[in-house]
Structure 1
Amino acid sequence: MNGLCSPFNRSPYELFARHAAHIRAIDPLLFSGQLSAHGARVRRFTGLLTELGAADPDSEAATLTYRAAYRQHWRLLPGAPDVLRDLRAAGLRLAVLTNYVREVQGQKLAHFGLDALVDAVLCVEDVPAAKPDARAYHAACAALNVTPAQAVMVGDSWEKDVQGARAAGLRAVWVSRAGLPAPEPGVPVVSRLADLPAALGLVPA
């Protein structure tokens, strides 16, 4: 082609970055209820494939292909069901607090049977504002009938799961799968979920 590169001749990293950019641009429409999860995916692939130079892209087919592959690659963190059972056996009430939509997160929880191991699931539609807004954590506390001082937020996002929760009056445990130390003192860190009961003081460290 006279030295010109096809728009599809891009590295996987470039494609991933462009795909992520389309997600960020469309998510506000999804979170506000203007698009369903499926509708957001179709719009995302319409934009991405058009950007890559596809003429009249079949975004519906691309969405279904992507979604099937995506579901096949869902993976639990090792030990997740056992840890949830242990925490419940210790008398703790458990909630999922997520910034994503129930249509998607509910499917994931049900797929792995985790929905039966938690007492409440709060998605972006269920809270006054998304993490790291304090109202998100307070809504989760209300769902569990505990005060913020009685609650512990566990998550892998330093900003949304640790900093936001602490600012809202909760304690927090950072899940650092890379084994990095906490950027601030006073925050327990685990790299494996199996270490969470010890970090919560439920078993000897």
Structure 2
Amino acid sequence: MMTIKAVLFDLDQTLLDRTTSLKKFLNWQINFYQLVDSDLKNDFIQRFLVLDANGSVWKDRVYAQLIEEFQIMHHSTEILLQSYIQDFNKFCTPFDGVKTTIEALYENGYKLGLISNGKSPFQEHNFYALGLKQYFSSIIVSEAVGLRKPDPRIFHLACEQLKIYPQDAIFVGDNWEADIQGARSSGLQALYFQGGELQHQPQATEKNIINNFSDVLKVIQTLRSQQLESDED
């Protein structure tokens, strides 16, 4: 009998509201290091977001470009990058409903796991800052294991750590290719979270889409009930 026993999550723009967190961090960093005048602060932040490309560009390149464009002479790329690595986690902010949903899933007996593409231990520290570690039995960051979503091996590794079959797990993420297609091609079910910036416009027939994190438990329970009913027929 196939049923949902475990829920795995992406980190950035799924559990972590990365855009909000990044804006908070940059506001602090600009003030602390006196990077630009106050009238240029918003321009600096918006340009950072563009260069960052939703986290796909590492920050050494981002800062090097910003230093050139804003003619910052008193701080180097290395200093600002080190600040990003050390201080970003202090500003990590979850999406609304994340903590209560994770607690509810845990209390309802679901095993929980994290799979994040990114650098280690940077991503682990960002996750720990959310205060959810005690609920998770598997925490995987791509750099630490040498695998990246959508590679099926990283999904299967998480399932092995949780001691469940892939078909008994559902993955919640915001990236259509890495998270949703990656999970499905690995034998997991998938729930597409669009709480952040829309990266893919699904077809009208696409199911399992949520815009509010608080809907995660409700959708999973509905899917589980449908599976149980189907197995009984």
What is the TM-score when the length of structure 1 is the normalising length? 0.71
Give the CA deviation at 1:80.
Answer: 1.1
* Residue aligning to 2:208: 188
Distance 1:42 1:170 in 2: 35
How do 1:96-111 residues align onto structure 2 when only pairs under 5 Å count? 96-111=114-129
Per-residue CA deviation, residues 161-192 of structure 1 (Å, 9 max, x unaligned), is: 11111111110011112798743745311111
Asked if residue 157 in structure 1 is aligned to residue 175 in structure 2, the reply is: yes
Amino acid at match of 2:142: V
Give the CA deviation at 1:71.
Answer: 4.4
C-alpha spacing 1:59/1:105, structure 2 compared with 1 (3 Å): same
Q: Calculate the aligned-residue CA RMSD, in Å.
A: 3.3
How do 1:1-205 residues align onto structure 2 when only pairs under 5 Å count? 11-12=43-44, 13-18=46-51, 20=52, 24=56, 27=58, 41=59, 44-50=62-68, 52-55=70-73, 57-63=75-81, 70-71=88-89, 73-177=91-195, 182-183=202-203, 185=205, 187-201=207-221
Per-residue CA deviation, residues 98-143 of structure 1 (Å, 9 max, x unaligned), is: 0012322222222221111111100013434200111111111111
Between stretches 99-108 and 167-176, larger displacement belongs to 99-108
What is the TM-score when the length of structure 2 is the normalising length? 0.64
C-alpha spacing 1:185/1:176, structure 2 compared with 1 (3 Å): same
Distance 2:136 2:70 in 1: 42
Distance 1:150 1:17 in 2: 38
User: Retained in 2: the 8 A contact 1:179–1:190?
Assistant: no
> Can you give the 5+ residue segments of structure 2 that lack an aligned partner in the other structure?
1-36, 226-233
Task: Tell me the SS of whatever aligns to 1:112.
Answer: coil
> Can you give the 5+ residue segments of structure 1 that lack an aligned partner in the other structure?
1-7, 28-40
Q: Count matched residues.
A: 181
Which protein shows a greater Rg? 1
Amino acid at match of 1:135: R
